[in-house]
Structure 1
């Protein structure tokens, strides 16, 4: 058997197969084999360059897609043909290229947040869906007043598998959960409580309810904080509401001033009262002690007097004269046995005192 050029055919496995087939099929196979050999091995230079460049590009793409880096605040969830295979820690890792293995980065150590009613530039949540801030903030309070409530939910991804696979669009689901809980909590309170004294209680209650719902739905999310921002009335009643709010603030200011004055005056009066009471107690103790001392001294004198009445009587008489005589100007001593007043002793003259 000869080839189409009249030369001998090369011996080999192809020859055995061709000899067993019809001549038409043998011709078609031989022609296709020759064209393929010319294209890859012996074809024109442009076709060879294109084939070589394609092979190099294929190898480069495969090598480039075979490794990936996980940041320090994240983990990677690896899927092979869509099926979960592993959860990879931070660092450099390799995978099967060309889309066979897909690694999804999940920031488990980063605190994420969703803003309701406003948007902070550069602080967008990567899992956040488009929002209608105006609709989210419009709420009705328990006393049938309207309020525009803005708040922030800060959360972390605690379970990457649940976050990726248990709930479709977890970011949007979290927004719906947060909005539902906030409307429920605000609807249980008056507008004054929402704006003034009830903010902290609303934040705490909303945090507990949001965490309970995310756990129930197995969202893989841990709520860290719920923080209320601006709370305003709707535009048509803004001016009237501001006047009422200013009046309430003025009332609170006056009450605080009265309490400050009360706290300044009442403790001073109480201090003076305690001082007067202590002084009265001291005076009472002093008088009682003096009276008890006088009584004890009199009792002692009485005991001594009963032992020697005459001596005690004379001593008391002499002590009395010692106290009385220095205050008398003219002193005349008369003998009790004389019958006239001529024999006398002028004590004043004797002491150098002029009559």
Structure 2
């Protein structure tokens, strides 16, 4: 009897009305939650209305038309992004952990001298135009990855394995950065390349011992060349200095001889002019000056007359007088 009374008291119209209000409330709440979108400080919101670009919204709280009329894509335009090739970061932190297994196909490359090398690199980039990033290129991330791998293979293929492994690493990274940016500008994908970093460049594992032996030989060669250049720099400047000194001494000697010869010639000319004016006086003076120079240099002196009859000994003639005498 009680069950029959309960069934009689329930009004179907009231149930339909109550359920309708609940459904309307759920519909309104779902619309509110789906229309409120929060854009982060490093992001930019791109609103698509019925499959077509409508507007771009800035960071903060934004509203869109709910129920699929409008959708929003959040693009990190202020954040630096990166793509890794030949390895993947498994755990980032102070001591990051990396994994290289399974990525050999994208890192193994052929150099210009037909050698294989394993190149691991990182492309760091930013999204500068969210519209172009979403609508100019289909799947911009995958396209950028394919472009990076293609450009790296081209640049490595233009160089020898020694250049890629040693001195040409920075040049390879710079060339890839420039060419990759040119492709991004050409495809208008709204991406700016910040940096290309060669993480690690190694020969393939099977031939790594042979490459290490070649590198050791090259380093030894460079050491010997440096030692030879040091010895050259030590000996050659000294020899050049000695040669320069000899040349300067010879030039000084030549200048001295020339000046003395000119002086002797001028003295002879002056003496000749005096001889022309007074021959006897000049001859007598030359004779006396000559004897004055010659006599102190000979030993004992004996003076005789013209006929040799009378001898005049000069005592103490060869003794040098002291300042007291």
In 1, are the aligned partners of 2:75 and 2:130 still within 8 Å (CA)? Answer: yes
Match of 2:212 in 1: 242
Q: In 2, Cα distance between the equivalents of 1:352 and 1:170?
A: 114
State the Cα distance separating 1:109 from its structure 2 match.
4.4
1:255 alignment counterpart: 225
TM-score (norm 1): 0.68
Equivalent residue runs for 1:24-39 within 5 Å:
32=13, 39=18
Provide TM-score, normalisation by structure 2.
0.74
Task: Say yes or no: does 1:206 pair with 2:176.
Answer: yes
Who is 1:220 aligned against?
Answer: 190
CA contact (8 A) 1:74 1:109 kept: yes
| Cα distance between partner residues in 2 of 1:253 and 1:328 | 70
Aligned to 1:182: 152
How far residue 135 of structure 1 moved from its aligned partner, in angstroms, is 1.9
Residue 303 and residue 227 in structure 1: after superposition, are their counterparts in 2 closer, same or farther (change >3 A)? Answer: farther
Q: 1:151 aligns with which of 121, 130, 133?
A: 121
Q: 2:46: which partner in 1?
A: 77
The Cα RMSD (Å) is 3.9
Q: 2:63 aligns with which of 50, 70, 95?
A: 95
Q: CA deviation at 1:76?
A: 4.1
Paired position in structure 1 for 2:81 = 112
Change (3 A) 1:296 1:76: farther
Secondary structure of 2:88's match?
coil
Residue 279 of structure 2 is matched in structure 1 by 309
Q: Which has the higher contact order (CA 8 A, sep 6+)?
A: 2
| Shift in CA distance, 101/304, structure 1 to aligned 2, threshold 3 Å | farther
Q: 2:199 matched to which residue of 1? A: 229
- Partner Cα separation in structure 1 for residue 276 and residue 144 of structure 2: 105
SS at match of 1:168: coil
1:138 aligns with 2:138: no
Within 5 A, what are the aligned runs for 1:304-343? Answer: 304-328=274-298, 330-334=300-304, 340-341=309-310
- Structure with higher Rg: it is 1
How far, CA to CA, are the matches of 1:211 and 1:352 in structure 2?
101
- List runs of 5+ in structure 2 lacking aligned partners: 1-10, 94-100
Distance apart, 1:103 and its partner CA: 5.2
Following superposition of structure 1 onto structure 2, how do residues 38-77 of structure 1 map, counting pairs within 5 Å?
39=18, 58=29, 62=32, 66=36, 68=38, 70-71=40-41, 74-77=43-46
Relative to total residues, which structure has the larger strand share, 1 or 2? 2
Check conservation: 2:80, 2:125, Cα contact below 8 A. Answer: yes
Shift of 1:228: 2.3
Q: Secondary structure at the match of 2:122?
A: strand
> Could you say which residue in structure 2 is the equivalent of 1:7?
none
Structure 2 vs 1, CA of residues 297 and 107 (structure 1 numbering), >3 Å: closer, same or farther?
farther
